[in-house]
Amino acid sequence: MIWGIIRRNLASSQSVSRIKHPAIRPRGYGQNELLSNGKGCRHAVGSFSYCTSLGSQCCRAYSNKPRREITAMLRPEYFIPLRSRSFSSDTGDLVDAVVPFMGESITDGTLAKFLKNPGDRVEVDEPIAQIETDKVTIDVASPEAGTIQQLVAKEGETVEPGTKIAVISKSGEGVPQAAPPSQEKTASQPPPPAEKESIGKGTTKTETSSLKGKEKTLFPPQPAARAPSSPPKPSEPQLPPKERERRVPMTRLRKRVATRLKDSQNTFAMLTTFNEVDMTNLMKLRSDYKDAFVEKHGVKFGFMSGFVKATVSALQYQPVVNAVIDGDDIIYRDYIDISIAVGTPKGLVVPVIRNSDQMNFAEIEKNINTLAKKATAGTISIDEMAGGTFTISNGGVYGSLLSMPIINPPQSAILGMHSIVTRPMVVGGNIVPRPMMYIALTYDHRLIDGREAVYFLRRIKDVVEDPRRLLLDV
């Protein structure tokens, strides 16, 4: 760090000029000595004495040793002042809360609402705002523990990843404090109106009232003339007042679902075919093994796993239903990822059960329960909804008897399940009550013909009515 020129001088007396500055004591020397008067710093190494004073000459005599003078020039860029600095915002007190990365296919979102207000205390990773995207709702977490100092963005704005939405003070200094409610009420109440003064100079309220009474006596009011009767106007329809209406903006998820469903109608040549399924044997299978199933696998045995397995079998028998049109080509997919439509308070989401053809009943039930809980809580990720080759929509949980589901692009078909209703059926020449379910397949008629669609539903019907076919693969 020190660049200097050492010269020898045998003269015994010579003035030494020094410049006063803060002393620096470098590390790594065995013998360091600081002048008592604070004017410079000397580091004795052997018989030499180095002075770190800028442009100074240092001299020290050693017993029975020649005197040596050293001129050292310290470069200013290497000079490091050792002084304390007060803590302020530019040293890291203020931290920005920014919009996180939202997924590969998502470039922006809408700032739905703030969960915190200026002056509120937040902890690390505590959500302070919610961002609505086309698919999921994402929380903006606090990067540090502190107090919300300022909300930079506004609710309803479109934000991108990295956009600053709030400023957090780790020390809590400079944060505006809300006024107490009592003061706000006092400030909002208008002052009492002042009493009206008397009319005219020297006239009191009593005198004014007496004058008005005399005027009424001298000039009694004349009866008003009757207006000529006009013909009655025809009655107009009474519309509800605007105060009874509420206008709420659509969420990003709702707008995205609406756009995709309308694009599906405009793109696909959709056709729906129906069939009915006797649920007797599947319900008996569930009733016989539900307790053992829960005891071993820790999850309930539901109808969805049975229909997923039946759908996998039908897709393997009719692979064109699992295919998709891409331009002038048809892409046949040798994997089966079943999408399950789940209705949430914020909109419809479709999580995907990947590699469904490689799962058993228990694994399918576990995946369905996990994804359904995440979708309802709003914590499902983009990756868990991406892809999918075929969709199952179970409107029967809401009591739907019959419907025509809409294809989930870019897939080519969707299966609709409905409620189970006990109806009289002819079995072996006898009329008996049976738990029946209508099932519907909506498909893209550009790719799938009616023959394949009917065979597809027939395979689902056969497997659900006789689950032993899955064991024997027949």
Any idea which residues carry the catalytic annotation?
Answer: 445, 449
Backbone angles phi, psi at 164, to 5 degrees: -80, 130
- DSSP code string of 238-292: -PPPGGG----PPPHHHHHHHHHHHHHHHH--EEEEEEEEE-HHHHHHHHHHHHH
Instruction: Please name the residues in contact with 279: beta carbons below 8 A apart, sequence gap of 6 or more.
Output: 303, 420, 434, 435, 436, 437, 464
Residue 403's nearest CA partner among 413, 415, 420, 421 is 415
> DSSP string covering 300-354, please?
---HHHHHHHHHHHHHHH-GGGG-EEETTEEE--SS--EEE-EEETTEEE--EET
Rounded distance between C-alpha atoms, residue 143 and residue 129, angstroms: 13
Q: Single out the residue of 375, 332, 333, 326 nearest to residue 356, CA to CA.
A: 333
Structural contact between residues 343 and 400, judged by C-beta atoms closer than 8 angstroms = no
Closest C-alpha to 174, from 114, 245, 253, 89: 89
Number of other CB atoms surrounding residue 378 within 10 Å: 17
